[in-house]
């Protein structure tokens, strides 16, 4: 596989679809591992996607986004198209005082 940059600023137009797909699989697997290591993630809504529900007045608009023909005010009856995700617990490492959190990926120098 041709090396595809781990940072998204590289132009990938010259890579073939197989190389991009292989790189995407590695990136996805790595992201999933990091998320599972540092966060407990749960669905916002417990109902299955495709379920019908009614949102009463006062529902948490930061946790539920209404889509489609949104007219008037609650109660709203609709179908869950995505259950959403929320972080239940975060286990982030403590940073050393000298750590520069603005560095997303350090430069590499091969010796």
pTM for the whole thing?
A: 0.66
Q: What is the mean pLDDT of residues 46-57?
A: 97
- Dihedral sign from CA coordinates of 83, 85, 88, 89: positive
| Mean pLDDT, the chain, integer | 90
What is the pLDDT at residue 8?
60
Q: What is the pLDDT of residue 58?
A: 97
pLDDT in tens, 22-50: 999 999 999 999 999 999 999 999 999 99
């Amino acid at each position: 596989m041709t090396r595809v940059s781990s940072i998204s600023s590289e132009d990938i137009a010259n890579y073939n679809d197989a190389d991009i797909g292989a790189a995407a699989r590695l990136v996805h697997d790595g992201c999933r591992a990091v998320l599972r290591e540092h966060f407990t993630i749960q669905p916002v809504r417990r109902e299955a996607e495709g379920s019908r529900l009614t949102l009463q007045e006062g529902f948490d608009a930061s946790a539920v986004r209404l889509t489609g023909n949104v007219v008037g005010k609650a109660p709203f009856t609709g179908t869950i198209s995505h259950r959403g995700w929320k972080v239940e617990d975060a286990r982030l490492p403590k940073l050393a005082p000298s750590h520069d959190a603005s560095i997303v990926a350090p430069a590499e120098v091969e010796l």
